[in-house]
Amino acid sequence: MNIRIGFGYDSHVFKPGVPLIIGGLPIEHPEGLAGHSDGDVLLHALTDALLGSIAVGDIGSFFPPSDPRWKGADSAIFLNLAMEELLNAGYRLGNVDITLILARPKIGPIAGEMRARVAELLDVPLDRVSIKAKTPEGLNLDHVAQCHAVAMVERVQESEGLKSMSDVIENQRQLEDVVEDLLSSVHGVPKKRGLPQVYDTDDIT
């Protein structure tokens, strides 16, 4: 399959006394997001989308919250591992579409800066990153930040100029000619003379 889709979701409750980081971007706000790491709800959802696209598990499989090594960790570490897994599986990122759901702070004024930061972390052009924000109207979730992320990935294609010998050799005689030419040009081995013809094909009836 040349194109695959991954979906990720995460949510964190707001908590006083911790910095707010969303999409790898520090944001001025009275409260941050509670979590074992830095609570970056966007990067967590995006990491799960990337891992899900190649079916290798989720963020908890690689970075369990019970592991003290990830206490307060920068979530860019998680995203970087997901990108490495993607490349090792033979895929590259096409584009991502992300929706944040939170009452505060307002994302609109900083959406451009956030997109730029996420594109930088993914090492992709800006036009491959979409970030939108909605409010949780009527859901009584004003003290929670949620994020949905979708990632499209595509298999890395072999260069058209790099074809295997079996793709371009039509028959055994052609293969022998190629090998003989290589031996002659590279190692100076004289080419074999053709076998003498033992009969006249014009006489065949």
Query: For the chain, how many residues are written?
Result: 205
> Residue 4 carries which side chain, given as an amino acid letter?
R
CB atoms within 10 A of CB 79: 22
Residue spans per domain, the chain:
3-155, 159-194
Report the predicted TM-score, pTM, of the whole model to 2 decimal places. 0.75
- How far is it, in rounded angstroms, from Cα 116 to Cα 23? 10
Strands, E assignment, 88-198: 91-101, 129-134, 144-155
Q: Per residue in 8-42, is it b (16+ CB within 10 Å) or e — as a string?
A: bebbbebeeeeebbbbbbeeeeebbbebbbbbbbb
Q: Which candidate, 108, 170, 155, places its Cα nearest to that of 135? A: 108
Q: Which residues pair with 134 in a beta bridge?
A: 101
pLDDT given for residue 68 in this prediction: 84
CB 63 within 8 A of CB 79: no
Residue 67 is encoded by which pair of tokens?
């592991």
- How far is it, in rounded angstroms, from Cα 21 to Cα 200? 86
Over residues 99-151, the pLDDT tens digits come to: 999 999 999 999 999 999 999 999 999 999 999 999 998 888 889 999 999 99
CATH of 3-155 among 3.30.1330.50, 3.90.1150.10, 3.50.40.10, 3.90.950.20: 3.30.1330.50
pLDDT given for residue 35 in this prediction: 87
pLDDT given for residue 199 in this prediction: 41
pLDDT given for residue 158 in this prediction: 57
Name the stretches of the chain with pLDDT < 70.
Answer: 1, 157-205
